[in-house]
Amino acid sequence: MNANRGDLPLTIGALRRRPEFAEERLGRRSVKDEMRENLIRKLQAGEQLFPGILGYDDTVIPQLVNAILARHNFILLGLRGQAKSRLLRSLTGLLDPWIPAVAGCEIHDNPYRPLCRACRELVAEMGEQTPLVWLAPEQRYVEKLATPDVTIADIIGDMDPIKAARRGRDISDELTIHYGLLPRANRGIFAINELPDLAAKIQVGLFNIMQEGDVQIKGYPVRMPLDVLLVFTANPEDYTARGKIITPLKDRIGSEIRTHYPLSIEHGIAITRQEAWTERPSPVRIHVPEFLREAVEQLAFLAREDKRVDRRSGVSQRLPISLLENVVSNAERRALRTGEPLAVPRALDLYAALPAITGKLELEYEGELKGAEAVARDLVRAAIGRVHSRVLDGANLNPIVQWFELGGTLKLEEYAPASALLKRLSVIQNLFDHLPALGVAPGDPPALRLAAAEFILEGLYAHRRISRSEEVGYSAAERRREPSLEEGRRQGLRRQLN
């Protein structure tokens, strides 16, 4: 098992002489046994089981481990963008580094127990000299997205008239089979995404495999007890909808495991940080402030709760990932244009990144009426408002609001140098006092201080305490709204103190 590729035996005879590859060990061991063995070893060693999968440690992963220990075929039920495919692909980490197969076999036959007729004939002819190939885990993972046009031939197989003609064989001969994806996944993992979209008769084919280990290829009298771990994904509503999955197949899926979106903003930020392409080779240095990462993630959380967004299809984690990438791009583009050495994304970059949001929202009727762009814009504003409320909780921002109420206006042009904009912001009383709450110190680069100061104003705009327009920029709120009870109380208190 810890053999490196160089000293792997290349014939059945040589294989047999190596204890770790002996027939007693490999002859009857199924892929599920193999994964179970490797999983047990990893659990005992306290190894990380699924590197790069974040936020599932206490929920999804224990259930997945149980399914594998139980040698179950299983399904992951979840909305889009919940790392289902990624989780399935990472199952290859539980396969042996190398396993032997009969050389040239399309279905990766076990040298000790070949299934296909070609291999059986080869082994009978060559005996201990039968040549081997070695398979790495990636070669043993087959994935298929189910769509209604997927055929039995795609998944199970078909007869191949060309093969028949070339070999001069009868069309009903087993050697003329063209194998589908499932037999090609023999001794490995076969993953089908969006299982409910698979036609019922193909589901029957899968059921036969799980039930009897039996493949029927277009009436061929072939019994082929394939050795496959079958794993699936589905949207929960599609999966439970009556008539989408044939009952006997459902009954044969050992475990149903529910995935989910990040349960906390922190988990979401960690996933997005890992996945988004923000550390890029670029002539400008890029720095993404934490408050902006939080706003990006908050936007996804808000979208998932929004009534205007279809909850059955969900809001993929790819939304905050693409959004952050686009936000960074806009900051990078600005810095390249203004010749500044440091690009720091600003609130306005969130608005500039609407193209990364709109396509990822499936809207309900109400949302459709409003339009994707307007919904996305609302979400940006609300996300900034949420982060603003959290980081500036309890801060007295009244002096800033008053500056505008006394007639101050301020426009932060997109392409002006950060230091020039900062200078203009410095006239607003108390504004810079709040930068430390956003994790920004007085000695930080102008671009970062600008981003933080603008974020504070943008938050006041989100809370409708000041206005913002294309022409004048930030200004006093158009009409005084009724102060909330809390604010009214605070104002009353201040009056008493004065």
Binding site for Zn ion (CB under 5 A): 105, 109, 116, 119
Of 53 and 164, the one with the shorter C-beta distance to Zn ion is 164
User: What residues are paired with 177 via a beta bridge?
Assistant: 159
Smallest gap from Cβ 301 to Zn ion, in A, equals: 51
Smallest gap from Cβ 299 to Zn ion, in A, equals: 52
Question: Distance between CA atoms of 107 and 14, rounded to whole angstroms?
Answer: 22
Smallest gap from Cβ 49 to Zn ion, in A, equals: 32
- Classify 104 in phi/psi space as left (phi over 0), alpha (psi -120 to 50) or beta: left
Q: What is the residue type of 465?
A: R
Of 188 and 320, the one with the shorter C-beta distance to Zn ion is 188
Smallest gap from Cβ 107 to Zn ion, in A, equals: 5
Question: Distance between CA atoms of 148 and 141, rounded to whole angstroms?
Answer: 22
Of 119 and 410, the one with the shorter C-beta distance to Zn ion is 119
Of 38 and 110, the one with the shorter C-beta distance to Zn ion is 110
Q: How far are the Cα atoms of 115, 131, 274, 326, 384 from residue 120, in angstroms, in the given order?
A: 7, 13, 48, 56, 66
- Measure the N-to-C terminal CA separation of the chain; round to a whole number of Å: 79
Smallest gap from Cβ 92 to Zn ion, in A, equals: 22
Of 109 and 194, the one with the shorter C-beta distance to Zn ion is 109
Smallest gap from Cβ 104 to Zn ion, in A, equals: 8
Question: Distance between CA atoms of 457 and 412, rounded to whole angstroms?
Answer: 11
Of 221 and 443, the one with the shorter C-beta distance to Zn ion is 221
228 within 8 A of 31, measured Cβ to Cβ:
yes
Q: How far are the Cα atoms of 289, 325, 420 from residue 450, in angstroms, in the given order?
A: 11, 20, 10
Smallest gap from Cβ 122 to Zn ion, in A, equals: 8
Of 180 and 459, the one with the shorter C-beta distance to Zn ion is 180
Question: Distance between CA atoms of 104 and 131, rounded to whole angstroms?
Answer: 9
Q: Characterize the bridge pairing of strands 466-469 and 473-476.
A: antiparallel
Smallest gap from Cβ 178 to Zn ion, in A, equals: 14
Tokens of 202: 């193909």
Q: Characterize the bridge pairing of strands 157-159 and 141-145.
A: unpaired
Of 105 and 410, the one with the shorter C-beta distance to Zn ion is 105
Q: How far are the Cα atoms of 15, 27, 56, 70, 88 from residue 65, in angstroms, in the given order?
A: 31, 25, 12, 8, 12
* Rg, the chain, Cα only: 30
Smallest gap from Cβ 214 to Zn ion, in A, equals: 17
Of 127 and 488, the one with the shorter C-beta distance to Zn ion is 127
Question: Distance between CA atoms of 118 and 131, rounded to whole angstroms?
Answer: 13
